[in-house]
Chains A and B, each alone.
Chain A
Amino acid sequence: MWVKQISVFLENKSGRIAEVTKTLSEAGVNIRALAMADTADFGVLRLIVDNTLKAEEALKANGFTVGKTDVVAAEVEDRPGGLHRILTLLHEGHINVEYMYAFVQQSGDNAVMIFRFDQIEKAVALLRQNGVTVIDDDRINQL
């Protein structure tokens, strides 16, 4: 029903993201989406990859601190107001978006957004009730 995201703790030092991409590339893992959140001292890199388990193992073996989180991949109509409609729905349903970022591939004619919610089950139910397509882990790998 939802998608596994991995996150990596990084210090703000040059070359650290490249170290992550190098590790994933050597493990033969494909990055499907990513977003970086940072502060003055550190950052958290969030990734959707084609093989979560393999990515996690490779990163851990290279000494990174890795976390795993359930996130929601939802289709967003690729037209003005498409994202706004979804955010309005969530706001009215009193569901907080912790953060969100765009998925690289489209799903048919629709864009795909990754959402991190504090109440994931409630959020998914609400989206579905309102006709928003939620993409699960299996299908996201086929996009």
Chain B
Amino acid sequence: MIFDIEFETMPREALESIQLRRLQATLERAYATVPFYRKQFEKAGLKPGDIRSLKDLHQVPFTTKQDLRDNYPFGMFAVPMDNVVRIHASSGTTGQPTVVGYTARDVNTWATLMARSLSAGGATRGDIIHNAYGYGLFTGGLGVHYGAEKLGASVIPVSGGNTKRQIVIMRDFGPTILTATPSYALHLAEVAEEMGVSFRDLKFKYGIFGAEPWSEKMRDEIERKLGLVAVDIYGLSEVIGPGVAIECHEAKKGLHIFEDHFIPEIIDPATGDVLPYGQTGELVFTSVTKEAFPVIRYRTRDISALHAEPCICGRTLVRMDKVSGRTDDMLIIRGVNVFPSQIESVLMEMEGVSPHYQLVVDREGNLDTLTVRVEVDEHVFSDEVKRLQDLERRISKNIKEYLGVSAKVKLVEPKAIARSEGKAIRVIDNRKL
């Protein structure tokens, strides 16, 4: 069901005229109230009034995570604290947390976007939503919660953790929609199995999963183990939280971006150039309705592509690919941008190949060389050397076809790839540049 039929199915022309009007108002306000944005405009020799078309937005400088950190905690707020009714913060695993604020109107906007998202993911007002996203500074829990109430569904604010109790609640309350991170969804399935509870006997129909990257393979596994239709939701606290984009359960092919509130762009992360629809690069968002915390050309570091083809669900909003990785990990090898996640996709698509891999980059003479180390597990192991060599050749060929970069593939023993705190070290760059 489409929650906001007017905005979600609006003809492109009408949508773009709303976007431009809202963008201009946002730029004016950010320029007037946030010193950082004023400086950005001044550096570029621009005034908000110079932005007369959506294309003109390309001239405005980017905003980065570092800029948000430099203005910790409230330096990016565009309204006085009197008007801020909510504060959230990102976890800050890679440094200082980033802090975001919401006015009452922002909270309402967000709730509407989440109601749209839940609806696209299959929820209706008759559903019971088991919300296992964490409640707190993290935007996941409260984001879903407000959206569920806006939609009129019944929400169980179970939050994360205490998994056994969650299984009991699922069994006794009979929720029909599950919202959680995809990894926690699989954990729920494991614990349920240990407790002798079968997901097949529960009432779930749809699951809306996000807040971390997950593959199509993981979707298959979740759908199989939990017996529900799984859709991907995208968002980040800097932009608003969950509810920036959502897959519709009808197509499950790309996430519809709520463009009446956010203008998406895909850029080449190395040059900053805007890329056309269909090309893969870094996602950039500009918010056009947010009051307390507007973001202008915010570089998400998430890798995706945009597609404008119409969707079977009827929404006219562009779709973004499932996020396939982060630009932080990007390597440039002989001029080609390579993301470890792209190598991972190649490996995952090959039957039985272990997802444990490592990229080793060296420079021999003036040439970069890429070696992909792949752990050999029982699924691909053979007592015949020629089969293993054939596997190396096939992986190498697929990498060349998919990424356009030559790689030497080296099979290694299980656990040969160093793991730091349980996380594999994916890249070793030995180049002295």
Contact = CB atoms under 8 A, between A and B. Distances in A.
Interface stretch (B245-253, B328-336, B379-387): B379-387
Interface in B376-433: 376-378, 381-385, 388-389, 410-416
B413 A41 contact: no
B412 A44 contact: no
Interface residues of B, number: 17
A67 B410 contact: no
Interface stretch (A6-14, A102-110, A123-131): A6-14
A44 B414 CA distance: 14
Interface string B133-168: 000000000000000000000000000000000000
Interface residues of A, number: 22
B416 to A, nearest CB: 7
Contacts of B389: 39
Contacts of A9: 376, 381, 388, 411, 413
Given A9-B376, A42-B388, A44-B388, A65 B413 contact: yes
B254 to A, nearest CB: 38
Interface of A: 5, 7, 9-11, 37-39, 41-44, 46, 63-67, 69, 98-99, 116
Given A65-B376, A65-B377, A66-B378, A44 B385 contact: yes
Given A65-B376, A67-B378, A5 B414 contact: no
A116 B410 CA distance: 25
Contacts, number: 54
A24 B113 CA distance: 61
Given A65-B378, A66-B378, A67-B378, A11 B412 contact: yes
A34 B381 CA distance: 18
Nearest to A43: B385
Contact of B413 (A5, A7, A11): A11
A37 B385 contact: yes
Interface centre among A41, A43, A99 (most CB of B within 10 A): A41
> 5 closest A-B pairs (Cβ-Cβ)?
A7-B383, A37-B385, A69-B383, A67-B381, A9-B376
Interface string B359-381: 00000000000000000111001
Given A9-B376, A67-B381, 15 more contacts: A39-B385, A39-B389, A41-B411, A43-B385, A44-B384, A46-B383, A63-B414, A64-B413, A65-B378, A66-B378, A67-B382, A98-B384, A99-B384, A116-B383, A116-B384
B416 A11 contact: yes
A41 B376 contact: no
Contacts of B410: 41-42
A129 B90 CA distance: 75
Contacts of A7: 381-383
15 contacts: A7-B383, A11-B412, A42-B388, A42-B411, A42-B412, A44-B385, A44-B388, A65-B377, A65-B413, A65-B414, A66-B381, A67-B381, A69-B383, A99-B384, A116-B384
Contacts of A11: 412-413, 416
A17 B365 CA distance: 34
B414 A64 contact: yes
A99 B385 CA distance: 10
Contacts of A66: 378, 381
Nearest to B411: A42
Contacts of A44: 382-385, 388
Nearest to B384: A98
Contacts of A65: 376-378, 381, 413-414
Contacts of A116: 383-384
A102 B275 CA distance: 63
B415 A63 contact: yes
Nearest to A45: B383
Contacts of A39: 385, 388-389
A105 B58 CA distance: 78
